[in-house]
Amino acid sequence: MNQEDRLQIRIKGTLEQVDVHALLACCLQAMLARVDGLAQADAVAAEALAAAQQPLVQAIVQEAGTSEISATLQLSNEPRRFSLKLPGGWCYEALLPETTTRPTPPEAGAGPINLGVGLFLVRSLMDEVVYIPRPRGNRWRLVKVLPFSAIGCVKEDERPITLTVDLPASYRYLNVLGEGVAALLGHASVPSTHNLTNQIQLAVQEVCTNIIEHALNGSGQLQVTLTLDRAKRRFIVETWDAGTRTFDPSMLPNRFEFASPGSSHGSGLLRGGAVLFISATLVNAGNYLFNLIMGRWLGPSAFADLSLIVTLFLVTSFLTTSVQTPAARFSAVFAAARDLSSIARLRRFSLRLALWIGLGLMVIFALGAPLWTSFFSVSSPVPFILFGLFAPFFLMQGVERGLLQGRMRFGLLAATYQVEMWSRLLLSLAFVALGFGVNGAVAGITLSFVTTWLTARRVAADLPTAQPITSALRREVMVFTGPALAAQLGQILINNSDVLIVRRFFPSEEAGLYAALALTGRVVFFATWSIVTAMFPIVAQRYSRGQRHRHLLLLSLAIVLAGSLAIVTLTYSFPEAIVQVLFGPAYLPIAPLLWLYALATTAYALANVVINYRLSIGSADAAYLAIGVGALQVLLLWIFHESLHQVVSIQLGLMICFFVVLLAWDSLHALKQVPMRRIGTPLALDETRAV
């Protein structure tokens, strides 16, 4: 033991919720357990704590709620004694028995330094590892995301609890930190945190060992802060040392990066996007076949009625997204933590929410069918009644798809779209062939939602029995639902308001022509949808783990841009041929507008990549901006609609401006972040926490 060893303990939080006595006891017992030759360490600790109980109570009362309680634990050699000091000058001392056998621990700084294995292990155990190299000011930050099952109910005003320990640069007292981790997690009242505690304890041990060996070289002080933030579901470990040496993570072995969770997600984006792209290509082909046949069988006027119903489905899909996008994001986070029980809770809650929303739509459209028929000048109220009756299935299949997306089960997700397309195509064609006209086509569309839901339900095959959702999870889901709704509402306004406005102000013949134009031009958006769908859960998982993810945004933008420009080039070079093949000579008046509409859709497809990227990292700014742009489009088109060319031109200019502003805003946000360096990347490459 050194001539004098001193540990400074600081406990901070809402003192009414913190068992200060228990936290101090675990630190005191852990320190005394490392005293050489002290056979009755527990007895000495118990005596000191008993003496300190009344002064502790007085200190807590004086602090009046939220503040900090500090204590100093000191071991001295001449004579051998232990002392405990509390605020206000109170001090307890106890003489310790002398011993002739004092094992000498390994000397810090001796032997080769192996940065790779220890830090490799830390990165595999924790969800976020950040290192800020600064001579005489090195900092490490480790974050573990806690499952909802590990935090229980959280009060709205509950604040984080922190335990800060200043200790000598020695292996001897690292057990104090391990006991502090266990004590803090014990305050969460969780019966199943044993494995979680072990992981955090091991990560703390490895980081501190590397600091003592490398940065401090066995001399000086090390400060470690342990924080339990139940409101944000985080356990945070932060270290500070005044060592003269910094770490160089670029010298870590390559296996570190390969073994990092989600390190191969760049290729995962391509693989998932490829699966969904192939499926989307077939689905789009089937959908276009559906529309081509219906356009030819029904004629422009009746096709305008069918297009109206399809557009209404797309418009109300913002409600589907209000349950689908949160399901995708939170299931991605839970899947990263292998927390199936929380996924089951999420599914149970989301399905019930979807059912209630669907029943509301049923009332609005089924009972209000005469009103909608009159407003849109449609020949029959039956399509609106069918729309309302099957709305609950429309919502519930969205939940199941969100879970499939979040768990990155892209194969089954792609299969659900195949089932929807083929059932819609075959059923609708059969009903129309039997003479049911537009009503038959709508019946086929609505029945396809039932078949899709039955297929997507397979996502729950490996889930445990769902328990009621926790208040913390419900609150997080509902808070995130707002931005998800905003993003989808903006998408609906931008993608579909033009069709509705044209249907409202233009004759049926021209409205049918424009519906065909929109259907053809939007192939850009739906062709690139697979990349966005694959990117969303991958970025969400990497963000929750603290890994870099901005490169996935740039990769997605590049892929979407390349695919979109190819389609724009085709529509510019062969507009008449495309229209002639797809819809026939009756629709040739839209040919000159085809490439302009495709270009406008390209700009929005790129903007949609940025919107979903920011949603996946929990940022709502782009989603609310999309609503503003969508509302502006509605206003402009409502005022200016002298011709179809004017309608398309307004959208083109607006979408280009939207994408430029959105990308600039995202880039500015990224540049404002504090530079931090992460494990496994060269120090020359600055990364930020949000990038």
Domain boundaries defined on the chain? 1-104, 108-259, 265-688
Residue 224 confidence (pLDDT) above 80: yes
Q: Which pLDDT band, with edges at 50, 70 and 90, does 153 fall under?
A: low
633 to 355, 496, 516: CA distances (angstroms): 32, 10, 20
Are 1-104 and 108-259 equal in CATH topology?
Answer: yes
Averaged pLDDT for residues 278-303:
75
Highest mean pLDDT among 85-94, 174-183, 299-308, 318-327: 174-183
Residues near 193 by beta carbon (within 8 Å), at least 6 away in sequence = 150, 185, 186
What gap in Å lies between CA 399 and CA 351, rounded to an integer? 6
Of 188-197, 204-213, 597-606, the one with minimum mean pLDDT is 188-197
Per-residue pLDDT at 450: 92
Per-residue burial over 80-102, b if 16 or more Cβ lie within 10 Å, else e, is bebebbbbeebebeeebeeeeee
Helices (H) and strands (E) in the chain, counts: 21, 11
For residue 85, the cross-strand partners are 72, 91
Task: Choose among 678, 685, 544, 687: nearest CA to 256.
Answer: 678
Q: What is the total residue count of the chain?
A: 691
Q: Which residue has the tokens 């039955």?
A: 454
Per-residue pLDDT at 451: 92
Task: Choose among 157, 201, 202: nearest CA to 181.
Answer: 201
Cβ pair 447, 326 in contact under 8 A: no
Per-residue pLDDT at 263: 39
124 to 127, 128, 202, 212: CA distances (angstroms): 8, 9, 11, 21
Q: Which pLDDT band, with edges at 50, 70 and 90, does 260 fall under?
A: very low
Strands 128-132, 675-678: pairing is antiparallel
Q: Which residue has the higher pLDDT, 494 or 65?
A: 494
| Percent residues over pLDDT 90 in the chain | 5
Averaged pLDDT for residues 347-366:
89
Per-residue pLDDT at 42: 73
What gap in Å lies between CA 138 and CA 221, rounded to an integer? 12
Highest mean pLDDT among 33-37, 206-210, 283-287, 421-425: 421-425
Averaged pLDDT for residues 453-464:
87
Report helix, strand or coil for 678.
strand
Per-residue pLDDT at 454: 92
Averaged pLDDT for residues 16-31:
73
What gap in Å lies between CA 156 and CA 288, rounded to an integer? 51
Q: Which residue has the higher pLDDT, 178 or 311?
A: 178
For the chain, give the mean pLDDT: 76
CATH class of 108-259: alpha beta
Write out the H or E segment, with its range, that includes residue 353: helix 340-362
Q: Which pLDDT band, with edges at 50, 70 and 90, does 672 fall under?
A: low
Residue 442 confidence (pLDDT) above 70: yes
Per-residue pLDDT at 673: 54
pLDDT digits (tens, 9 = 90+) for 579-604: 887 777 888 888 888 888 889 888 88
What gap in Å lies between CA 174 and CA 216, rounded to an integer? 15
Averaged pLDDT for residues 630-634:
88
Q: DSSP readout, 118-177?
A: HHHHHHHH-SEEEEE--TT-EEEEEEEEPPGGGT----TT---EEEEEEEESSGGGHHHH
| Percent residues over pLDDT 70 in the chain | 80
CATH class of 1-104: alpha beta
Averaged pLDDT for residues 18-36:
76
Per-residue pLDDT at 557: 87
Residue 569 confidence (pLDDT) above 70: yes
Q: Which pLDDT band, with edges at 50, 70 and 90, does 366 fall under?
A: confident
Per-residue pLDDT at 249: 60
Residue 166 confidence (pLDDT) above 70: yes
pLDDT digits (tens, 9 = 90+) for 496-549: 778 878 877 888 778 778 877 887 777 777 777 777 777 777 777 777 655 677
Q: Can you give the C-alpha Rg of the chain in angstroms?
A: 31
Per-residue pLDDT at 674: 41
Task: Choose among 164, 165, 161, 200: nearest CA to 31.
Answer: 165
Report helix, strand or coil for 246.
coil
30 to 228, 371, 495, 577: CA distances (angstroms): 20, 75, 63, 81
pTM of the predicted structure, to 2 decimals = 0.53
Q: Which pLDDT band, with edges at 50, 70 and 90, does 453 fall under?
A: very high
